[in-house]
Homo-oligomer: A and B are copies of this chain.
C-alpha cells in the first residue's frame, strides 16, 4: 500500500521557500493535472492553445497563431500537423499572401475544443482546490503582476 512516489524526504532549506522553486513545483503539479486530463483525448497543451486561439479569433496564419499562443513557429507547424491529421483544423494557402497558410478550425475541432474546455476547467478547479475563492483571485492577481513587468525597460 505504500506505492506513492519515491517519498519526499526533506528539501534543502534554502530551496524550500524559494519562489522560483515553489513556482516550479506548482507548475509541475499543474502540468501533471493537465496531462492527465488531456491524455484521455490524446492531446497536449500546444493543441489546446491553438484550438482556443482559432476559435476565439477566427482563422489566422501560422505565424499569427504562434504569436497569439506564445508558441514558436516551428512548434506550431508540428502541432498543426497533428490537428490536421485528426481533421480538427484545416490548412489552406492564403490567396492574398502566398507565403501564408490560413488555418481554420473545423466543426470537429470546435467540438473537440468544447470537450477540452471542460477538462481544463476541471483541472483549474483541482489545482485551486486548497484555496477559498478570495485567495484564488489574490493568487491570479499576484501572478499576473509578475508577468506584466516582464519586459525589461532598458
Contact = CB atoms under 8 A, between A and B. Distances in A.
Interface of A: 4, 6-15, 17-20, 22-27, 29-31, 33-34, 45, 49, 52-53, 55-57, 64, 66-70, 117, 120, 123-124, 127-131, 135-136, 138-140, 142-151
Secondary structure type dominating chain A contacts: helix
A70 B6 CA distance: 8
A131 B151 contact: no
B15 A52 contact: yes
Contact of A20 (B20, B123, B131, B138): B123
A147 B12 contact: no
Output the residue of A19, A45, A69, A151 with the most chain B CB within 10 A.
Answer: A19
A145 B120 contact: no
Contacts of A142: 131, 135, 138-139, 142
23 contacts: A6-B66, A11-B68, A12-B49, A12-B55, A14-B52, A19-B30, A19-B124, A19-B128, A20-B30, A20-B120, A23-B27, A23-B30, A23-B143, A24-B30, A24-B31, A24-B45, A25-B147, A29-B146, A128-B146, A129-B149, A139-B142, A139-B143, A139-B146
B124 A18 contact: yes
Contacts of A145: 130-131, 135
B140 A67 contact: no
A23 B26 contact: yes
A117 to B, nearest CB: 7
